[in-house]
Structure 1
């Protein structure tokens, strides 16, 4: 039925005494508006609704018996009935005091199936389409579903997919619907070109954007999938890259995606204009708000004269000033930066103006586009809710938090006018992305378990509730086994309090004289103190079993004690402070990551001690265009027992990641003689310096980086009773090594292999030149 004829049929039904001339599919209607407004019906007669039911039809009418109605009511009733999707035709007429509603029911869908799909499974496509079993057959909705299927395939790089439908009538108004998918070949990215870049090479800019050139692993990473949304996101990433490095006049002249049908590949070209590089000029704060002292706010500014201009630092300064002013009782105060360009000296002076902004309140926060993530997961990242004072800096901070979650491929927050001039509607548009991953890791422990393999399944947004869960299992050549389960609820009881637990089991037979088994559990809670600082409280429980597998006479006295008195239990509580300003947790280029922990054991169990230990690492970009990253780190720790000797497992040990070139437990106090058993130490410190760089002549999209490093440190002191055995390595003799490394940002995580040569060591130390495994910098 044509839309025009629907409207005319609807309007014609209003006339109780109007003249109507009907012809064919349309009607010419002469209606008295006064008559229509005065029309009153006493009953509603529904015809043709055998499946849906008369009451369902009446509930979708805006016309009520005994009340007057107008032409608008007729039109609204027809539209509302069509919008249900259950009717293919609707006619409304008046007969005396009766409103006659004649409907023709749409066919019902008995079953929805998908044919030809191999790359996307049925359950994934079923979640995309809106047509479902027992629902109405609606051609407009089916066309929308076809486009949704195409969009799903385009997200996997198959933009040439073709989707058709097949309808099988079953009688009695029921049909089976099949979506037939011709997946086609996967499109790829042949090249990514940059035009107009002088300060940074095309290779450096390629490493910045999310879209990557196709390579042999693209089928796993999906980073070579082209979409218009990703292109716009890459444009914004480039802008922020330049804005945060002093290029305040940077602009993208054009971006183009040329598709070659012969090769089924895209070529992306970004035409840019960098402009000059600026430093900060004079930075001041001015306030027009009574009671707010500008000089006191100066201390919250993070931009200083002479520094390279950075839009990110300007934004952080605005947020810090805004928070301080709001805490002083001025929630509507507004912070506005004013830039003063000096083209002669290439500087930008910034004045932060604090004034009393308009009184505006958040009417509601409207969330759109989240097909998987629950609304409350998004809402809780805002420091304001409905009814609170509107604050633009809080909006910016919420956007940054949402992007940092890793749940969304895009986050956009805008505002719309509310129901009154002092009301604002905050609109949050997000697009969900895959948050689950399957990982495979490998490592090698010389002199111990040999080759180690681990597989894990990880989900960062479990059931769309923002919860983190990880299940892992692994094994080694010498019969070692590991199992783990980790869970975190990031907002416990609605507070910004991350609560979780870790359960782990491991066992090994790498020692010829005993088998070792360990079961541990950790309960933890992490609370933020500031945006960069957080504290974590833990309860730690560990059970250790040493089962004899050989002659105990081959063991030193302390280890004989471990086997003879097994099992052992350690129960402790600890607190950790973590400071994190890294720009990227995967490949940091700037920032500090530091943690300090103190731990008390003695809540039952066999251990009684106090420990304090920590580590800090600083990253700095040594050469921006060459992408050479330098880092220095240091760590230290000390443990003291409570009125008794420590156990072997209470003391510190160093791994081959702390000082490369040595085995796990390869340095520090150990039993002298043939047994050579490590005891650990009560004090340690380490320092390290490293530089990493992209491998020359290798496309940066491969994610291969080289490294050179130098490590040094020591582990000394012993509070374990040697039971008559002599001990080496109690003194603080320094160990050091130098080496090279190779890192690969693989789809399974960052893999790394190091080759280190000890340059300072003791005769009783255990060395290991090669180290291979998953890279863990923190």
Structure 2
């Protein structure tokens, strides 16, 4: 009996001494720190929870009636109640068998507004902050939101933004919260300095990184916005550049950014150590996997002894071997490059070891960070799915594809241990970027078919986050020129890697004195990849052509064009197939690589045209001088068309002019009627050589380059019905020399060329000056 009384007294003492006081700042003080035994309460009394309600308070504590608890349970209950954000003060004590919880409620937020913001809209800021209407006011949350807003402004180049808050009581325990924003001036980048570089000039290295010095167009390009993530990406770009150009020992000694608070400008500094330039030594393939013949894999290796070392070529060789081995039934085979570095001769021998890797499977692929692009758009760039054998080369290939999409500012792929040792979780972290654009283009050509043409376009590369491409454009100009175009592409048609789409167009002109010309139609297309660099496109094309005579046209048109006016409108219905091979290192400003296209087309599926047409074009880029950033290119093209039912129409034949041989009008060379009308030809050949370099005296960040070029070509042959008209048809070579100015502007690549024909015929039409949007192909 005495023992039982002693136990009851001890429990009572514990219960009475277990009071806890918690201040508004969250500091917890135990009334008695000597409590070592558990206690039990029978009921919970909640005081002060007028809006939240007693039930919500009871649900957010760990102490339950009838169950023992300790001071640590009181501590966690206090923290849990504060974590709800609804209370500014919490006090928990024990009175007999009752747990007393006294709370002081935070005020509720009636409305949240943003004042002074122009560069970032309200809806975007509202999505960033945690302070929302109908929620509790919490000072810690507000301060965190202030930092979030500042970070958002820093990401668009406004580091000196000032953010404060104002509150206004509206009664009944509610208040309005206003974030007052002083956006300040844009934080610019004044200088980008490189030190330690010997092989490449600072201008060349500046073209490698994505961050650019501020200039008069930076408010459009946003390339002068500093962030630690972007600087890290720039370091990675520099490493890849050097590794791919032979500098295997390259390292970045230091990289820093200094902000001048008075001028609100950054200075970026990159200190590099290039090391020596290496070439490849002996190349070999070794296999330890039964059934895999190393000799048969050597043909897949693109690294060659004596060539300049390139990490990209090694990676491509690994992927080639990996695909071949996996397709042969060895999904777990691992390809490891082993380098043998000769520091004296500056060579690196590479041995590709094919061995049996660990058996691992993909447990799941986690997509993180995408706020706009849908998960399936990212997943479909992987050649593996959940449950497949894990293959690191497929992961590398997927990252390259995701980077090439242009949807993201950052793509990071990492792996984590799955639920068992043979399971791998693939984690994909991305950061969406804007993919829509509005462009205004201009072109001008002199001559009979010339005049000014302005075009406005709206383009979206990731429509609704689905990865679809859509473009709408309209143009108007002098001489009655009008153009209308709509294009749409679904890159994964029916879930397959097939890019299906359509184009609708209408073009009309009154540039000729004696007739108006218009064409309208559509095309349906589907593109399928054959390899990483080779693809084929199947296309159906329908076109309606109209020639309308103007005043006095009957006395001034040659017989072929009289026929076109009198017997029109005309239609073409064709099918075509194009093979495209593309190894360019950059689609906007290529420095190395080859792009080639070959097309064959058949007309005769109804309509007025019956022919079979072959055409092709190839352009090869090569650096002439890495240090001076001089890019050379060679282009060749050819075409031939033959009738399949007697004669060709004039519009079935090829035309050739200033687009291929600068210094001439469009359709400025080749067969002509006695009236001087272009008739086109059945056969053409073209060739061009060009070299470009940054414009001297102008910062490379502006994007201005100068070019010198030489063009040559010929167009001849005629199988059109001339109705007795005479023909100027000379197959002699035409050639021109010229210079150009290229500007990679925020609106697109704008180009101005001036060319002088050095070989021509008397009936050719000359046009020395051309201005318009440049086309790489």
Relative to the length of structure 1, the TM-score reads: 0.91
Aligned to 2:477: 476
- Cα deviation, 1:664-719, whole Å, max 9, x if unaligned, reads 011112211xx311121122121111111122232222211111111111111222
Q: Give the whole-Å Cα distance in 2 for the aligned partners of 1:543 and 1:90.
A: 80
1:212 equivalent in structure 2: 212
The question of whether the paired residues in 1 share the 8 Å contact of 2:16 and 2:96 is answered with no
Once structures 1 and 2 are overlaid, which stretch shifts more, 279-288 or 55-64? 55-64
Secondary structure, counterpart of 1:210 in structure 2: coil
The alpha carbon displacement at 1:132 in A equals 3.6
Which residue matches 1:531? 532
Shift of 1:613: 1.1
Which residue does the alignment assign to 1:741? 740
**Worse-matched range after superposition: 695-704 or 654-663:** 695-704
Q: Following the alignment from structure 1 to structure 2, what is the Cα–Cα distance between the partners of residues 378 and 72? A: 46
- Is structure 2 residue 23 aligned with structure 1 residue 22? no
Q: 1:262 to 1:689 in 2, by over 3 A?
A: same
Q: Displacement of 1:56 after TM fit? A: 6.8
Q: 1:552 to 1:429 in 2, by over 3 A?
A: same
Which residue of structure 1 lines up, in the alignment, with residue 396 of structure 2? 396
* 1:385-424 correspondence to structure 2 within 5 Å: 385-424=385-424
How far apart are 1:59 and its partner, in Å?
Answer: 7.3
Structure 1 CA distance for aligned equivalents of residues 336 and 241 of structure 2 = 22
Distance 1:113 1:131 in 2: 10
**Is the 2:116–2:181 contact (alpha carbons within 8 Å) kept by the matching residues of 1?**
yes
Q: Is residue 767 of structure 1 aligned with residue 770 of structure 2?
A: no
**What is residue 654 of structure 1 aligned with on the other side?**
656
> Residues 33-72 of structure 1: matches in 2 within 5 Å?
none
2:140 aligned with 1:143: no
Farther off after superposition, 628-637 or 455-464: 455-464
Q: Distance in 2 between matches of 1:479 and 1:670?
A: 24
**Does the Cα contact within 8 Å between 2:18 and 2:35 map onto a contact in 1?**
no
State how 1:577-592 maps to structure 2 within 5 Å: 577-592=579-594
Aligned ranges 1:634-673 → 2 under 5 Å: 634-672=636-674
SS at match of 2:606: strand
1:230 partnered with 2:227: no
Query: What is the match of residue 442 of structure 2?
Result: 442
Cα distance in 2, alignment partners of residues 207 and 773 from structure 1: 24
Deviation, 1:578, is 0.7
Aligned equivalent of 2:6: none
Provide the residue aligned with 1:347 in structure 2.
Answer: 347
CA contact (8 A) 1:15 1:35 kept: no
* CA deviation map 1:265-316 (0-9, x unaligned): 2221111111111111111111111111111111111111111111111111
Residue 362 of structure 2 contacts residue 425 of structure 2 at CA under 8 Å; is this kept in 1? yes
Shift of 1:49: 6.5
Partner of 1:300: 300
Q: Which residue of 1 aligns with 2:501?
A: 500
Instruction: State the shift of 1:96 in Å.
Output: 10
Are 1:542 and 1:569, in contact at CA under 8 Å, matched by a contact in 2?
yes
TM-score using structure 2 length: 0.91
* Cross-structure match for 2:153: 153
Partner of 1:703: 703
1:563 Cα deviation from its structure 2 partner: 2.1
The alignment status of 1:541 with 2:542, answered yes or no, reads yes
Task: Name the CA shift for 1:736/1:422 in 2 (closer, same or farther; >3 Å).
Answer: same
Is the Cα–Cα contact under 8 Å of residues 15 and 97 in structure 2 kept in the other structure? Answer: no
Q: What is residue 463 of structure 2 aligned with on the other side?
A: 462
The answer to whether the Cα contact below 8 Å between 1:16 and 1:96 also exists between their aligned partners in 2 is no
Contact 1:503 1:521 in 2 (8 A): yes
* CA deviation after TM superposition for structure 1 residue 101, in Å: 7.7
Give SS of 2:494's match.
Answer: helix
- 1:343 deviation in Å? 1.0
The verdict on how the C-alpha distance between 1:194 and 1:684 changes in structure 2, with shifts beyond 3 A counting, is same
Q: Counterparts of 2:381 and 2:188 in 1: how far apart (Å)?
A: 36
**Cα separation, partners in 2 of 1:373 and 1:264, compared to 1, 3 Å:** same
Farther-moved stretch of structure 1 (451-460 vs 83-92): 83-92
Instruction: Provide the residue aligned with 2:521 in structure 1.
Output: 520
Q: Which moved more, 1:439-448 or 1:621-630?
A: 439-448
Greater displacement, 745-754 / 164-173: 164-173
Cα-Cα RMSD? 2.9
Match of 2:314 in 1: 314
How many residues are aligned here? 759
Aligned residue among 606, 628, 631 for 1:629: 631
Q: CA deviation at 1:102?
A: 7.2
**2 CA distance for matches of 1:468 and 1:134?**
40
Shift of 1:58: 7.6
Matched with 1:595 is 597
Once the two structures are TM-superposed, the CA of residue 95 in structure 1 deviates from its matched residue by 9.4
Match of 2:612 among 610, 613, 626: 610
Change beyond 3 A, Cα 1:135–1:707: same
1:19 and 1:30 in contact (8 A); partners too = no
Q: 1:60: Cα distance to partner?
A: 6.6
Q: Structure 1 residues 365, 492: closer, same or farther in 2, change over 3 A? A: same
What secondary structure, in the 3-state scheme, does the structure 1 residue paired with 2:424 have?
Answer: strand
Contact 1:16 1:35 in 2 (8 A): no
Q: Distance in 1 between matches of 2:63 and 2:666?
A: 82
Q: Distance in 1 between matches of 2:66 and 2:323?
A: 59
Unaligned runs of 5+ in 2: 1-10, 23-28
Q: 1:556 aligns with which of 558, 565, 573?
A: 558
* Inter-partner Cα distance in structure 1 for 2:673 and 2:64: 95
For 2:499 and 2:32, the matched residues in 1 are separated by 67
- Any gaps of 5 or more consecutive residues in structure 1? 1-13
Residue 92 of structure 1 and its aligned partner are, at CA, apart by 7.6
Query: In 2 relative to 1, CA 477–337 (structure 1 residues): closer, same or farther, beyond 3 Å?
Result: same
